[in-house]
Amino acid sequence: MPKIPSYHLFPTAETASKTLAAEIGELVSSRAAAGQSAVLGLATGSTPIPLYEELVCLHRKGLSFANVTTFNLDEYLGLERKHKESYWHFMHTHLFDHINIPPGNIYIPDGTIADENLQGHCLDFENAIVRAGGIDLQVLGIGRNGHIGFNEPGASPEVRTHVTSLNKVTIADAAESFDGPQNVPARAITMGVGTILDARRVVLLAFGGSKAGIVNRALTPGITSEVPATYLQLHDNVSFFVDTDAGAAIEASSPPE
Ligand code: F6R
C-alpha cells in the first residue's frame, strides 16, 4: 500500500539539520554501545552541508564514527577524485576529513572507472551494501525535477546502482559550479531507486523556495516515474525535513508531525 511520507516543518535549514544530526548521533552511539556498526547512506549538494557541519560538531563533542560505514548516492562520471566538483572531494571537504570514520568504511561510486568496467563496479557497490548489512538511514536531497540521487524523470523503481544520463534541469542546476553547462559531466553513477527503497529509514531534506513545488508534488498521492521522489511513497519509513520556504506549498491533507 503506498503511504505518503510524513513531513516535519522547521523554521530554518539549521534546525532541521540539527534534528537529523541528533537522530544520526543516537543511531551511531547506540550501535556502538551494543558493539555494532551503523550504516549511513549520504547525499551531496548544497542541502546536506549544514547536516555535515552539525555532525562534525557532534564529533568534536565526543561522537565517534569508528563504527560507521557510509555509502554515497552518486558520483559524476569522468571526474577525478580531486576535481573540485567531484562528490568524493565534496564529502571529504565537508565531512570525512573532520571525523574519525575509517577510510575503508567509505564507499563512493568511482567516477574514473572505464566504461567496460562500469557494470562490475555498480555490482560491487551493491554487494558492499549487502555485506555491510544494508543501509540503516539514507539521507536524500531532491532535485527541482524530482530526482533522488541521479534517478532522473523516467527512472524505474526497481533499478539498482547504475550509470545514468543527467537530465537537462540537473545540468542547468549544476552549470554555475562547473562554469557553464558544457562542462557538466553528461553521465553519473547513481544508486537506483530500488537501492534507496531498501534502506531501513529515509530522511529527505529540502530547503528553500525553489524546492516548494516539487516537495508538494512528492507528498501528493500518485506515484509517477516523471517524479522519481514519488517512489518514496512505496516505503513505510520516510520523513521529509523541510524548512518554511520548501514547505510553503504543501497541500497534503495530513498535518505535519
Ligand atoms: C546529490 C544528489 C542529488 C541532490 C539534489 C539536490 O548526491 O543525489 O539528488 O540531492 O540534486 O541538490 P541540492 O542540494 O544542491 O539542491
Q: Distance between CA 48 and CA 41 in Å, rounded?
A: 12
- Is 0.95 topped by the overall pTM? yes
Cβ of 141 below 6 Å from ligand 1: yes
Q: Distance between CA 26 and CA 58 in Å, rounded?
A: 11
Q: Distance between CA 186 and CA 158 in Å, rounded?
A: 23
Distance (Å) from CA 173 to ligand 1 centroid? 10
Active site (catalytic) residues: 74, 145, 147, 152
**pLDDT tier for residue 1 given thresholds of 50, 70 and 90:** confident
Residue environment code for 192-218, b if the CB has 16+ CB neighbours within 10 A, otherwise e: bbbbbbbbebbbbbbbeeebbebbbbb
Domain 6-243 classification at class level: alpha beta
Q: What is the domain partition of the chain in residue ranges?
A: 6-243
Distance (Å) from CA 163 to ligand 1 centroid? 17
Mutate to test the pocket of ligand 1, among 76, 142, 211, 227 (most ligand atoms within 8 A of CB): 142
201-223 tens-digit pLDDT:
999 999 999 999 999 999 999 99
147-199 tens-digit pLDDT:
999 999 999 999 999 999 999 999 999 999 999 999 999 999 999 999 999 99
61-70 tens-digit pLDDT:
999 999 999 9
Distance (Å) from CA 34 to ligand 1 centroid? 33
Nearest residue by C-alpha to atom 9 in ligand 1: 149
Cβ of 148 below 6 Å from ligand 1: yes
